[in-house]
Amino acid sequence: MNNNKFDALKTSDSDDSDNENKDMKEEREPVTPGPGEHALQFAYTFWFTPRFPGRQASSLNFEQNIKYVGTVASVEQFWAYYSHMGRPGDLTGHSDLHLFKDGVKPMWEDPANKEGGKWIVRLRKGLASRAWENLILAMLGEQFMVGEEICGAVVSVRFQEDIISVWNKTASDQATTSRIRDTLKRVLNLPPNTIMEYKMHLDSLKDNSSFRNTDVFVR
């Protein structure tokens, strides 16, 4: 498997600021598929961010809060983690569950993300667990067919809604973003009039908000 690009990103991360928490900084052994296991095209890492309502939002807090869960390189390893983790529908309070390519941090500032953006789908309560599973299975199975453009996926559990996002590397690449949108609609089985929103990470950095001031698409 060709993960060299991501290894390269890892090295360039090491000169980041000292503000990162242990989880973000820690050097980890590369994860490989076990004997007889079904290899994935890319290794992926689960991250979890519990949120504390009322606390000041900042990139620093985000880095301090984020928790490393584990990295998977095979289908079997994925299920071993997934089966022993809470489903988005069971998570309490405000929290984010991330599944990102190994070597890409789930942050706007990561070198793999800084030119990128994300598709956002807002779901009413009760739908997130199934939607999240369908989304990450499609991502792990390389169903998006956009080369190396996918960076990761996030499910954000909020008070009144749950939000699912897919991050890609190049926000300006329209062929890629529309293919991701169409695949997302297909795998989540979204009704035709579903509102989908896209937001560039550059804009998120400017307004320090993940889900406000998005570009809205209805089809």
Partner 1 sequence: MSGKTKVRDIPSRRVLLTDPSQLPIDYSSTPGGTLFSTTPGGTRIIYERHELLQLRNSPLTRTPPKNLPKIAGVTSPSTTKGSPQPDSVNGQATIPEEKKCDEDPQFEMDI
By the criterion CB under 8 A, which residues form the site for partner 1? Answer: 1, 34, 37-41, 48, 50-57, 61-62, 67-70, 75-81, 83-86, 91-97, 108, 134, 137-138, 140-143, 156, 158-161, 187, 204, 209-212
Instruction: Give Cβ neighbours of residue 86 (< 8 Å, ≥ 6 apart).
Output: none
Q: Which is nearer to partner 1, 15 or 114 (CB)?
A: 114
Min. distance of Cβ 67 from partner 1 in angstroms? 5
Q: Which is nearer to partner 1, 84 or 126 (CB)?
A: 84
Q: Which is nearer to partner 1, 159 or 192 (CB)?
A: 159
Min. distance of Cβ 76 from partner 1 in angstroms? 4
Distance CA 214, CA 219 (A): 16
Q: Which is nearer to partner 1, 15 or 29 (CB)?
A: 29
Min. distance of Cβ 14 from partner 1 in angstroms? 22
